[in-house]
Structure 1
Amino acid sequence: MTLAPSQHNGSAVWSDTRLLYALEEAVETELNRHLKVAKDWMPHEYVPWSDGRNFDGVLGGEAWAAEQSKVTAIGRTALVVNLLTEDNLPSYHHEIATLFGRDGAWGTWVHRWTAEEGRHSIVMRDYLLASRAVDPVALERFRMDHMATGFESDNRHSMLHSVAYVAFQELATRISHRNTGNNSGDPVCDQMLARIATDENLHMVFYRNLLGRAFELAPDQTMCAVRDVVVGFRMPGHGIPGFERAAAQMAIGGIYNLRIHHDDVLQPVLRYLKVLDISGLGPEGLRAQQELGLFMDDLDDQARKFDERREALLARRARVAAR
């Protein structure tokens, strides 16, 4: 992306208010595009209701046991993490509604996004309970702990940081859902998560395109925001009880790890926007661009080392299982 001379605003400092106003037209354009391509779908259609039966408790049903689940062990771990991440929607809505506002195109998008994301937690929980995929008691206790803690964004520097974060995070969520479905061992689960992943991809496109417009308006500030977000990226579910252990299992299981993060999340967005090729930057933007490039090289090296360790571990497990 090469900016015309009239667009070389690298040294100019844009306030959040000015940027929100300047991006309003782009938000309206992306909102209209989203509404044209997004397909309405019904969560209840993806739930195997005929598999459901009462649990133990006030209705005197059958207690949950792991052998009742059709889902693989890694699938159960990932499903719990993914659902608990979706459960914190009230906190996410508060964050973006406070930052982006509730009026105009921004407000319309905030409410539309929230409504679409709400479907995800609805269908996932209904699927998990009807299919007895996971322990319902543990799931509810995790939900209470996670939501009671709430969510506070790591990206409170500026609205550009928030736009940059969600551009990557929505794609990361899509990849996590899709890989969970692929590794779930249950075709119904796979179909459900594929439907959710389609939504997440459309959300990513919205924010990615908005980020592209921000680069045209304030290239230095946007580059610094992207650098900060990429270097310090954490998934929104990092506050889930036991997240680090679950994340390690998901990394080894091929749901989400350094290689996937580098190749399937960061690189596609950076490449599409040609972030590392943008010219006409001021000193701060150029420094941020260089630091971003160095970080991506280092992350690729870390991912290579992780791949080697993972392959060795899986090989050892295969040898033990074959004995």
Structure 2
Amino acid sequence: MNLLAAAPTGPHLLRELEQVVAVELDRHLAVAKEWFPHEYVPWSAGRDFDGVLGGEAWTPEESGLTDVGRIALTLNLLTEDNLPSYHYEIAAMFGRDGAWGTWVHRWTAEEGRHGIAIRDYLMAARAVDPVALERSRMEHMEAGYQGDHMDNPLHVIAYVTFQELATRVSHRNSGRTCGDPIAEQLLAKVATDENLHMVFYRNLLKAAFEIAPDQAMRAVTDMVTDFRMPGHGISGFERAAVKLAVGGVYNLPIHQNDVLLPVLRNLKVMERTDLGPEGEKSREELAVFLSGLDTQATRFEERRLALEARKAANRA
């Protein structure tokens, strides 16, 4: 029975998914492992900054991170900083009661430690300019966050499914390229949390396909074709994103092969036989988009490899 045909605004869907949320919440709590941000911060490396305590002013030479790593961790932290806006969005959509509410608050608590951990690491390691970081945080949080299509629960569930995996990949790759084994360990812990969040939302999306396949297909198509990372509003995001793309942290091939396709395969989107005319239309749109994305990703990777070859030749 297609419940969303009778209730396109979404409350019926949220009620239908309540039991799935309860099951997934129990599963999440059983597999999530407790960890403590302070254990991944090199406190002994820290010292006072200039200011009221009369410490030493920060200089770029102090950072032990690679240039790409410093940009990646800064961007990741600023994205995590906007958690109050994200909490508001999902709490307003899913509610604060029952299994939905329990999940919303648990998710928020787990996400909150990511920003705490990354900021403490960056300050103790003196890896970034603390003044510039704070000014960027203020600017980004004052702007807030409002995603696309966030008035429909299916679109929200579809978006966070892809977004959580994208964030997991970004954190993991940031750790691998940052040049510091301590930061890599920390970001691996953060990435593990993000992956568990993705699994939670992906399983909800899978259940939504069983309840309302056409509407779920529409939501997936809209989210894939219009996807933007939650940090897109950060000042200088485009310039930073280009550097991260070239540096192999997050780019079109990674987005395609490590984020979009794994989720779509898990959901068996292209194999479904229960779609109606509207669902089929949405799937066709998705197929056309993915074909074009594959072409773009291939061209990007060719250019990136050519650039690396030129840099290697110049160094030689």
Shared topology, TM-score over 0.5? yes
Structure 1 unpaired stretches of 5+: 1-6
Deviates more, 1:64-73 or 1:19-28: 64-73
Contact 1:12 1:218 in 2 (8 A): no
Shift of 1:280: 2.1
- TM-score, reference length from structure 2: 0.98
| Residues 4 and 10 in structure 2, CA contact (< 8 A), matched pair in contact too | no
Encode CA deviations 1:13-39: one digit per residue, 9 max, x unaligned.
543110010000000000000000001
Q: Deviations over 1:129-171 (max 9, x none)?
A: 0001111111111101000100011122411000000000000
The match for 1:260 among 254, 263, 278 is 254
Q: What SS does the corresponding residue of 1:260 show, helix, strand or coil?
A: helix
Question: Is the aligned partner of 1:150 residue 2:139?
Answer: no
Out of 26, 29, 51, the residue aligned to residue 23 of structure 2 is 29
Measured in 2, the distance between the counterparts of 1:201 and 1:280 equals 28
In structure 1, the residue matched to 2:193 is: 199
- 1:318 equivalenced with 2:312 (yes/no): yes
* 1:1-323 paired onto structure 2 within 5 Å: 14-322=8-316
Q: Let me know the Cα RMSD of the aligned residues.
A: 1.2
> Are the structure 2 counterparts of residues 298 and 9 from structure 1 closer, same or farther at C-alpha, using a change threshold of 3 Å?
farther
Contact 1:212–1:273 (CA<8 Å) still a contact in 2?
Answer: yes
Question: Partner residue of 1:4?
Answer: none
**8 Å contact from structure 1 (residues 161, 229) kept in 2:** yes
User: Matched residues in 2 for 1:174 and 1:156: separation?
Assistant: 21
Residue 228 of structure 2 aligns to a residue whose secondary structure is: coil
Structure 1 consecutive aligned stretches of length 4 or more whose deviation exceeds 6 Å: none
What residue identity is the alignment partner of 1:300? D
Kept in 2: contact 1:48–1:130 (CA 8 A): yes
Q: Give yes or no for contact 1:262–1:299 (8 Å, CA) kept in 2.
A: yes
Letter in 2 for 1:312: A
Which whole-Å CA distance do the structure 2 matches of 1:297 and 1:10 have between them? 29
What CA distance in whole angstroms lies between the structure 2 residues aligned with 1:147 and 1:157?
21
- Structure 1 residue 8: deviation in Å? 6.5
1:297 Cα deviation after fit: 1.4
C-alpha distance in structure 2 between counterparts of 1:177 and 1:250, whole Å? 12
